[in-house]
Structure 1
Amino acid sequence: MTNHPHTLDALAAADAAELQEILLEVCSSPRWAAVVAKARPWSDRESLLAANAAAMASLTADDLRDAMAGHARIGKPKAGDATSEREQAGIQGVDQAVLDELHQANAAYEAKFGHVFLICATGRTAVGMLTALRERHPNDAATEAEIVREELRKINDIRLDRLIGGS
Structure 2
Amino acid sequence: MVTRALLACCGSLRWAQRLADHRPYPDLGALLAAADEAAYDLTPADLAEALAGESLTLLPDGAYSAAHTALSAAHAAYESRFGHVFVICLDDFGPEEALDQVLAGIRARLANEPEEERVLTAEELRRLARGRISRLARTFDDPSGSRPETAESTDSGHPDSPYVPV
Q: Does 1:103 align with 2:72?
A: yes
Q: Does 1:154 align with 2:127?
A: yes
Q: How many residues align?
A: 135
- Return the offset for 1:117: 0.8
SS in 1 for 2:138: coil
Structure 1 match to 2:86: 117
Distance 1:128 1:41 in 2: 37
Instruction: Tell me which amino acid in the other structure corresponds to 2:12.
Output: S
Provide the alpha-carbon RMSD of the alignment: 1.5
Structure 2: tracts of 5 or more residues without a match: 140-150, 152-166
Q: Deviations over 1:109-154 (max 9, x none)?
A: 1001000111114445111110111000010111111111111111
- Return the offset for 1:51: 1.0
Instruction: Tell me which amino acid in the other structure corresponds to 2:136.
Output: L
Structure 1: tracts of 5 or more residues without a match: 1-17, 77-90
Instruction: Tell me which amino acid in the other structure corresponds to 1:139.
Output: N
TM-score, normalized by length of structure 2? 0.76
Structure 2 match to 1:9: none
Sequence identity (%): 37
Q: Deviations over 1:15-42 (max 9, x none)?
A: xxx2111111221110110121133211
Distance 2:90 2:53 in 1: 14
Instruction: Tell me which amino acid in the other structure corresponds to 2:79.
Output: E
What stretches of structure 1 move > 6 A for 4+ residues in a row?
Answer: none
Structure 2 match to 1:14: none
Match of 1:60 among 43, 47, 61: 43
Structure 1 match to 2:160: none
